[in-house]
């Protein structure tokens, strides 16, 4: 049987650290081929079909690469160019192998699986609950935006899906009896919001000169996300910048602009976390950045800007603060 790791996409996920510990990202393949949802704004849903053996070998190689860099708690995130909870896209054999590896490591605080609500079926959730893992399972859910323009801009309509997901997970957490290891809940949700300025602008309206309007739109998305949470289902929030895809006419988002907005978002989160009975929610930026100097495409000045950007993202993810964000200027070459 073929066990050679299949090649991953060209994108590299750096090992980031947030307030939950290290966050290694395992980007694996889809064992059914292209993602069945076919969201037109998604740049990763089309892929060659891989086998379970290839996925397991690729996971093992990535895990071996990450482990020497991890010296504390970590919460791994599993992606497969589709939905990890869809057995046609990610076989039970693959998932069982991965979760079994994490089950042997007491440093795992929780494990996150890329999923849509409809593929996280009762059968899937029952199976996870019955195994009584020593860590909670989170589901990575791409809400992207609550703005009324989301369907027009992104071509994705998932109205009500986050609420259905939370209600589904809440039932399991309500029935959960605390374990001796201190595990407090069974399932959580990692909700993705996409930073794409066009979500908050009129059709054809340019980005230039409208940073305040864009910032308020993003803040409203975060407020709406928090409004729809439930105290029984812990939620983490990932803001990821939009990267260009062929199916949409938008330029990639400016990461410097996003960083300038982060200090205005953190107080919204802190207000939520002060409410009695809620599980603390954290905000992190899951951006992917590539240093291009190895291929001669990046000047020394551009590389310094990229490294400054990486440093700022890591600082915010670890602390929730970015005191010098207002001084970050736009740099199209690395945005």
Q: 127-162 pLDDT, tens per residue?
A: 999 999 999 999 999 999 999 999 889 887 788 999
Question: Given this model, what pLDDT does residue 39 score?
Answer: 57
Burial-class residue 200 by CB neighbours within 10 Å (0-12, 13-18, 19+).
buried
Alpha-carbon distances, residue 231 vs 37, 57, 167, 177, 184 (angstroms): 30, 38, 11, 16, 12
Question: Given this model, what pLDDT does residue 179 score?
Answer: 46
pTM of the model: 0.88
Domains of the chain: 16-334 (3.20.20)
Q: Which residues pair with 23 in a beta bridge?
A: 16
Question: Given this model, what pLDDT does residue 333 score?
Answer: 42
Question: Given this model, what pLDDT does residue 329 score?
Answer: 64
Sign of torsion over alpha carbons 258, 284, 37, 220: negative
Question: Given this model, what pLDDT does residue 38 score?
Answer: 56
Of 2, 23, 7, 5, residue with least CA distance to 318: 23
Copy the structure tokens of residue 180. Answer: 């001796």
How much of the chain, in percent, has pLDDT values that exceed 70? 83
Question: Given this model, what pLDDT does residue 239 score?
Answer: 96
Question: Given this model, what pLDDT does residue 3 score?
Answer: 34
One digit per residue, the tens of pLDDT, for the chain of length 335 reads 333 333 333 446 789 999 999 999 999 998 776 656 555 555 555 678 889 999 999 999 999 999 999 999 999 999 988 889 999 999 999 999 999 999 999 999 999 999 999 999 999 999 999 999 999 999 999 999 999 999 889 887 788 999 999 999 999 998 866 544 455 799 999 999 999 999 999 999 999 999 999 999 999 999 999 999 999 999 999 999 998 887 789 999 999 999 999 999 999 999 999 998 888 899 999 877 655 444 456 678 878 888 888 889 999 999 999 877 766 665 444 44
Question: Given this model, what pLDDT does residue 13 score?
Answer: 78
Question: Given this model, what pLDDT does residue 43 score?
Answer: 53
């Amino acid at each position: 049987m073929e066990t050679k790791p299949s090649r991953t996409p060209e994108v590299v996920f750096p090992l980031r650290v947030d307030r939950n510990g290290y966050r290694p990202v395992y980007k694996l393949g889809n064992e059914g081929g292209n993602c069945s949802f076919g969201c037109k704004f998604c740049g990763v849903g089309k892929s060659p079909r891989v086998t379970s053996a290839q996925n397991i070998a690729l996971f093992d190689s990535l895990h071996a690469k990450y482990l020497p860099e991890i010296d504390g708690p970590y919460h791994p995130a599993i992606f497969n160019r589709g939905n990890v909870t869809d057995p046609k896209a990610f076989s039970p054999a693959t998932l069982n192998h991965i979760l079994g590896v994490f089950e042997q490591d007491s440093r795992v605080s929780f494990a996150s699986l890329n999923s849509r609500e409809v593929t996280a079926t009762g059968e899937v959730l029952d199976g996870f609950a019955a195994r009584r893992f020593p860590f909670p399972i989170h589901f990575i859910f791409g809400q992207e935006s609550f703005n009324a323009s989301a369907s027009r801009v992104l071509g994705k309509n998932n109205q009500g899906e986050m609420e259905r997901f939370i209600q589904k997970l809440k039932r399991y957490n309500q029935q959960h009896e605390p374990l001796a290891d201190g595990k407090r809940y069974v399932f959580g949700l990692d909700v993705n919001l996409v930073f794409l300025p066009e979500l908050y602008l009129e059709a054809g309206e340019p980005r230039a000169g409208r940073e305040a309007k864009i910032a308020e739109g993003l803040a409203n998305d975060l407020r709406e996300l928090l409004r729809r949470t439930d105290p029984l289902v812990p939620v983490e929030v990932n803001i990821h910048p939009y990267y260009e895809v062929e199916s949409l006419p938008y330029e990639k988002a400016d990461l410097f602009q996003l960083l300038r907005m982060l200090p205005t978002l953190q107080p919204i989160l802190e207000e939520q976390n002060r409410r009695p009975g809620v599980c603390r929610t954290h905000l992190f930026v899951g951006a992917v950045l590539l240093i291009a100097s190895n291929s001669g495409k990046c000047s020394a000045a551009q590389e310094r800007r990229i490294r400054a950007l990486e440093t700022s993202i890591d600082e915010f993810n670890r602390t929730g603060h970015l005191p010098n964000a207002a001084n970050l200027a736009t740099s199209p070459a690395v945005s």
